[in-house]
Chain A
Amino acid sequence: MTMFPETNETLIARVKDLGDGASWTEFVGIYQPIVYRMARRRGLQEADALDVIQQVFVSVAKSIDDWYPISGGPPFRAWLATIARNTITNALGRRRHDLAFGGSSVIEQLNAQPDNRATWSELYREVQQQQVVWAAEQIRHEFSDDVWASFQMTAIQGLPIADVARSLRRSAGAIYVARYRVIARLKEKVQEVSYLWEKE
């Protein structure tokens, strides 16, 4: 429940400067929670996990300056995703799972650890899931409460259409249509950020 450390202000300013675009916002929105969860799973304290997040994003942001387009090369977003994956696995994958680190040297210690391929697949899984959650958050505001509830109760909670229709006082047809609309939009939104988890 802690806010990011203060230096995060700089990061946010930087992010704004560098991207001014949806890609970076998306990117941060999706990767931040992933990095946090993965770091915590590795036994890092909350403050250290936040520190790892910051290190990762500062490092990614810095490498943005190295990017320039090569004809036939990857577009910015794909490139960004690759850099992020490398940075994250470097930060997290090279440490032993049973040790918790503290202090400012945590990244150095992490970096000193051997690579762990398992981190890659964990990261892919996390990204795949997070981007669906992210997409759902993104599109939530595009639908009214009724439409969203129709989707959530039927598609996620698995309640029968008729029950949902009754409880929302809407026709079954409206529930069918609402569910279709939300899911179609969700898939579309997920597709927009698919670059984040497609393997090279």
Chain B
Amino acid sequence: MIGMSQKSKNCLTEDTLHMLAHGECTPTDLHQCEEHVDGCERCRDLLESRSLDVTWHESCLPALHSHNCPSDHGSEFTGEYDQEGYPHRGHEDSMKQAALELLGPTDDPEMLGRIGNYEVVGLIGSGGMGVVFKAFDSALNRYVAIKMMQPHLAVSGAARQRFSREGRAAAAVIDDCVLPIHAVAEWQGVPYLVMQYSSGLNLQRRLEMEGPLKLNEILRVAMQTARGLAAAHAQGLVHRDVKPSNILFDGSVERAHLTDFGLARAVDDASVTRTGLLAGTPQYMSPEQVRGERVDARSDLFSLGATLYAMCTGRSPFRGDSTYSVLHRLTHDQPRPIQEINPEIPGWLCAVIDKLLSKAPDQRFQSAEELSVLLEKCLAHVQQPTEARLPAEIRTLPEACDRPRFPGWIKWIAWAVPIGGLLFAGVLIVLESGKGTIRIESDADNIPIRITQGEQVIKQLTITRSGAAVRVNAGNYQIELENINDASIHVLGGSVRLQRSETEIVRITQSALDESNPEQRTYPGSEWDVAPISASETRVFVAGDRESSMAALKSNVKNLQRGEGLSPEIESTITVDLTGDAGIDWLFSESPLKREPLGYPFCLNNVECRNGGTSSWPLIDSENRRMVLRARMECAEASDAFWNRILGVSIGIHISKTDFDLINDGQDITKVIYLPQDPANPEVLQSMASSEEGADLDILEEASKLGQPVISFRLEPVVSYSEESGSILKSYSIGDAISDARFVDLSPRNALSPVADSVNARIEDEADRLVSQIEKDYGPNAVSFDPNTMSLIIDHDLTGQQRIAEYLRVRGIANQPLINLTITGVSSEWMDDEHAEKFEHWQDSAAPLTKDEVAQIHSWHTELSKLYYHDGTFIPGKPESFQIEAFTATMIARHVPARVGDFARIQVRLDLSDALSNRISLLGTVATDGTGLVLRQPESDNFFWLITSDAEKSATMDNN
């Protein structure tokens, strides 16, 4: 073949050359090329002329001739020089070297080596945490990026375990905006992640190359990052290292991917113990993270704010001469105003970023989800300013330069008003204006106000119930009451940023309640506030606009729960939206509107319930008291006229501390929301509570006398066993002996073992201690210990079992028929990584299920999923989240059992938070192999439940 110069169909094309140059050929293609080139003179010439061209001869070759061309691996400049002044090499990059030395041998001379089943093509990067290889996954014929922990960090067992654990958690985050992690594994004792290979730039690089981004791109990248974060947060995973270099663009630069979830913590583990220093760059860290406090999702939002700042200005917000000064600045200083650096950034975006960069987490946006929705609307506004308005939440944000003008409680009142007992009787007058219009609505007469801009008074006027409209130039204005001492009069939205041709609405309201104490007036404390909100009267809530009414109500709730000492009585708020929005069919299967083309007209706190017309929430107050709120539809038989009257109404139900107190005293409370038979006031719902009317009254019947009941709520105590202090969840520690014997297959339990006696004696000791601990909490005879199965058996005191079951039920599987649970193990030992591994091993090797067991667990899953998901099924690998006031749960089905004998495991994460925003998370696994539900509390290392279904218990009993 040598000497052939004809072009054959195998000859190199421009495409092939491009792929060769960019490392995109698969190993097979590469070898085919080599084989072809070997025999094709034409292609040899082509390659030669493309390689040794003018650029090579003129600039590359001379440089490499006169300087040292690196030959072996590990030739990074280290900051040392040899006698000739050339950098001394090969000393300090022992990290890369060490990583390369770990590679397994490969047969392919094109490859660097092997990690597991991946052929490593090259080392493409290194950083504080580890090194990144490009590798080829021959099974799936694709390139992947392998991020391997720095071998010297991997010496620390804790860091290694955490790297793997965080990696696995991150791998479970599946979202378009998150760079997928394909696998987590270990090689030569060093953990690594297999990720999607991304050849695109990262955001940091783009900012350095191009400077600040354009507005719509800023919004898009931020929105996508927020979405990625939301997906992670939904699983309780905090990123901890959101920064521009962790945001990757794919080739088209149209999509930003967030990467490196949670790994920062793994590095902290290792480097803190090693050096006592902070790992990584602090510039994008949140103040609480810098202070070493516990961080939650809102910490990531701060970092996202800093990243947004960098996108707007091309530089990070907090910079200084040293790490220390950066840390100081980001915990104490405000960054330089964005518009000073880049005047093209609109004020509202600056306000959003300022809010994100609030030092106090509760001053920021509260969830990435909320932020991404908001940014999406902003993006729509920027793209089509005439069709999409800026979202109301953004318009009401204080401008970056504004300092709070009012004491906190006035703001709070402004928020509280829409759900307090207010009169909205104003009439709107709209005047179109070429400049901009400030529309003032009032539900009181003869209110003198002034409109000011800066120091200057623009206009003074007196407002009546008919309202007023003022045309002024675009700009920032304050609308203030003039000489009014009446504390019941308030201005809502008095700080206006008016844009050309836009209309801003300011509302003057008069509170209906007595004015002695504003807090008390709005929240009498023991009240369930019911705020009927109808479509025509208010711009905050619009019929059918579930989202904004939810958002508004939620904002209130947050404001209240955040406290500032304002309304500590409110423990929880449930929102019911009767909105006609599609998608949810809360307990209305029997409602007449169900048959209407409207579809599913109602939504109860975004939670769907199909179980015979009731829905319930488990609630936990700040003192760890529990109760269940059960809601029931009471108007299924009502007339169409009735339905037309209530459609578009949102109801906020506040559960107060007093309610909890009453419940805790053993009282049930029933509350009925009803529509009075009052044609004059057709849209105002009323409420009636047994706590006010007397517990012995049939409240539902009383309400029926006054009108048509809509929904009834019943609050019930869950269980009144002794209070635990401190933690919401109980933990019992069991000793090594039980732990090992129950969950690990250890030979000492073998009767033939010489140490069998002493092991059994230890087990007995530990069992006694454990049983007495549990009985202290649940009363005598709650549990017994069965040494044969190493199980805690709760079989001779039904009450004890029910208590414990209820205790669990209220957290995880509310409103399900009681599942009889047997606690077979409670251990602190499992939190230790070694045990966790053993446990996983044990769980993995569990036997297949019988037909009955599959059916049982399947139905349990179905019930669980039915409760929380619309379609009632799990899609393997797709995380599903639900949120109710008390907690968030995310579930991922790894596999869904389809047939008898199939193994399935569903990961569950429950995030519980109480009214004071104390959070606690349980990670759980529901396994279909009969091992039941496992919950543990990460970080605290002190909680572990293992629950099996009744089947195992029966089996145990039968055997006995």
CB closest residue in chain B, given A188: B21
A17-B204 in contact given A8-B79, A137-B70 (Cβ < 8 Å):
no
CB atoms of A146 and B109 under 8 A apart: yes
Cβ-neighbour of A190 out of B60, B112, B208, B243 (below 8 A): B60
User: With a CB–CB cut-off of 8 A, which chain B residues contact A62?
Assistant: 321
Residues of A60-111 contacting chain B, CB below 8 A: 62, 64-65, 67-69, 71, 73, 75-77
Q: Which of B38, B67, B69, B211 meets A172, CB within 8 Å?
A: B38
List the B side residues contacting A185 at CB < 8 Å. Answer: 21, 23
CB distance from A167 to the nearest CB of B (A): 13
Q: Check if A190 sits within 8 Å of B59, measured CB to CB.
A: yes
Is B282 in contact with A176, judged by CB distance below 8 angstroms? no
Any B CB within 8 A of the CB of A10? yes
Contact between chains at A142 and B69 (CB < 8 Å): no
Q: Smallest distance from the beta carbon of B20 to chain A beta carbons, Å?
A: 6
What residues of A have a CB within 8 angstroms of the CB of B64 in the complex? 132-133, 136, 156
Which chain B residue has the least Cβ–Cβ distance from A182? B51
Query: Is the pair B319, A176 in contact by a Cβ cutoff of 8 Å?
Result: no
B51 & A155 in contact (Cβ 8 Å cutoff): yes
Chain A residues near B875 (CB-CB < 8 A): none
Check B59–A132 contact: CB distance below 8 A.
Answer: yes
Q: Is B55 an interface residue when CB atoms closer than 8 A count as contact?
A: yes
Q: B51, B65, B68 — which one has the most chain A CB atoms within 10 A of its CB? A: B51
Which residues from 42 to 84 on chain B have a C-beta closer than 8 Å to any C-beta of chain A? Answer: 43-44, 47-48, 50-52, 55-56, 59-73, 75-77, 79-83
* A141 close to B (CB within 8 Å): yes
- CB pair B209–A128 under 8 Å, yes or no, is no
Contact, CB under 8 Å: A144 / B86: no
Task: Select one of A75, A149, A177, A184 contacting B37, CB under 8 A.
Answer: A177
Q: How far is the CA of A189 from the CA of B939 in the complex (A)?
A: 44
> Inside 8 A of A49's CB, which chain B residues have their CB?
85
Cβ of A133 and Cβ of B314 under 8 Å apart? no
Question: How many contacts between A and B, using CB within 8 angstroms?
Answer: 226
B295 an interface residue at 8 Å Cβ cutoff? no
Chain B residues with CB below 8 A from A16, complex form: 281, 323
Contact (A1, B88) CB under 8 Å given A17-B326, A133-B63: yes
Nearest Cβ in chain B — how far from A64, in angstroms? 8
Q: Does B645 contact A (CB under 8 A)?
A: no
Which residues from chain B contact A59 at a C-beta distance below 8 Å? none
A101-143 CB mask vs B (1 if < 8 Å, else 0) is 0000000000000000000000000001110111011001111
- For B28-41 the 0/1 string (1 means CB < 8 A from A) is 00100111111100
A186 to chain B, nearest CB (A): 6
Q: Are B81 and A136 in contact (CB under 8 A)?
A: no
Report yes or no: B208 in contact with A76, Cβ–Cβ below 8 A. yes
- If A136-B70, A146-B109 touch, whether A65 touches B85 (CB-CB below 8 Å) is no
CA distance A37 to B656 in the complex (A): 74
**Interchain nearest-CB distance for A120 vs B (Å):** 18
Max count, chain A CB within 10 A of own CB: residue among B55, B76, B134, B208: B208
A55 within 8 Å of B (CB atoms): no
Other-chain contact of B51, A68, A144, A184 (Cβ < 8 Å): A184
A176 to B44 CA separation, bound complex (whole angstroms): 7
Q: Which of A71, A133, A148, A171 contacts B71 (CB 8 A)?
A: A148
A137-B75 in contact given A67-B315, A173-B34 (Cβ < 8 Å): yes
Q: Are A14 and B134 in contact (CB under 8 A)?
A: no
Inter-chain contact B100/A17, CB cutoff 8 Å: no
- Could you mark each residue 24-68 of chain A with 1 if its beta carbon is under 8 Å from any beta carbon of chain B, else 0? 000001001100110011000010010000000000001011011
Q: Is the CB of A180 within 8 A of B20?
A: yes
Flag if A173 contacts B210 (CB, 8 Å). no
- Asked whether A69 lies within 8 Å of B319 as measured between CB atoms, the reply is no
Chain B residues positioned under 8 Å from A196 (CB to CB): none
**Chain A contact patch, size range:** 35 or more
Docked-complex contact B204 and A20, CB < 8 angstroms: yes
A20 and B323: CB pair below 8 A? no
A65 to B320, CA, bound (A): 8
**In the complex, residue of chain B having the shortest beta-carbon distance to the beta carbon of A140:** B70
Once bound together, how far apart are the Cα atoms of A129 and B86, in whole Å?
A: 12
Does B205 have its Cβ within 8 Å of any Cβ on chain A? yes
Q: Does B873 contact A (CB under 8 A)?
A: no
A134 to B65, CA, bound (A): 13
Please, what's the 1-or-0 string for B307-342, where 1 marks a CB less than 8 Å from any CB in chain A?
Answer: 000000111100111110010000000000000011
Contact of A177 with B33 in the complex, beta carbons under 8 Å = yes
**Of B116-124, B370-378, B674-682, B920-928, which binds chain A?**
B116-124
Q: CB of A174 within 8 A of chain B?
A: yes
Known: A144-B112, A152-B71. A1 touches B82 (CB 8 A): yes
Q: A173-B36, A176-B47, A179-B51 are in contact. Are A128 and B59 (CB under 8 A)?
A: yes
Q: Does B735 contact A (CB under 8 A)?
A: no
Docked pose: A99 CA to B322 CA in angstroms:
35
**Residues of B with C-beta under 8 A to A160:** none
Q: Across the two chains, which residue of chain B brings its CB closest to A80? A: B208
Chain B, residue nearest A65 (CB): B319
Q: Is the CB of B282 within 8 A of A17?
A: yes
| Residues in chain A near residue B671, CB distance under 8 A | none
CB-CB under 8 A for A20 and B281, given A33-B85, A36-B81: yes
A173 near B21: Cβ-Cβ < 8 Å? no
The interface centre, meaning the residue of B34, B36, B314, B322 with most chain A CB atoms within 10 A of its CB, is: B34
In the complex the two chains form, is B283's CB within 8 Å of A181's CB? no
A69 touching B322, Cβ below 8 Å:
no
Contact of B313 among A68, A130, A168 (CB under 8 A): A68
Residues of chain B within 8 A of A65, CB atoms compared: 319
B279–chain A nearest beta-carbon distance, Å: 11
Q: Decide yes or no: A171 and B80 within 8 Å by CB, A13-B323, A75-B209 being known contacts.
A: no
- The CA of A29 and the CA of B205, in the complex, are separated in Å by 17
Check B323 against A17 for contact (C-beta < 8 Å).
Answer: yes
Could you name 6 residue pairs across A and B whose Cβ atoms are closer than 8 Å? A2-B81, A141-B112, A177-B34, A183-B51, A184-B20, A188-B22
Question: Lowest 5 A-B CB distances belong to which pairs?
Answer: A173-B38, A142-B122, A184-B21, A141-B123, A173-B37
Residues of B with Cβ closer than 8 Å to A? Answer: 17, 20-23, 30, 33-39, 43-44, 47-48, 50-52, 55-56, 59-73, 75-77, 79-83, 85-89, 96, 100, 109-112, 121-124, 134, 204-205, 207-212, 243-245, 281-283, 313-316, 319-323, 326, 341-342, 344
Given contacts A142-B123, A174-B109, A180-B21, 19 further A-B contacts (CB under 8 A): A21-B208, A23-B205, A23-B209, A32-B77, A37-B85, A75-B210, A128-B59, A132-B60, A137-B75, A137-B77, A146-B109, A155-B52, A172-B37, A172-B44, A173-B44, A176-B37, A176-B48, A177-B20, A185-B23
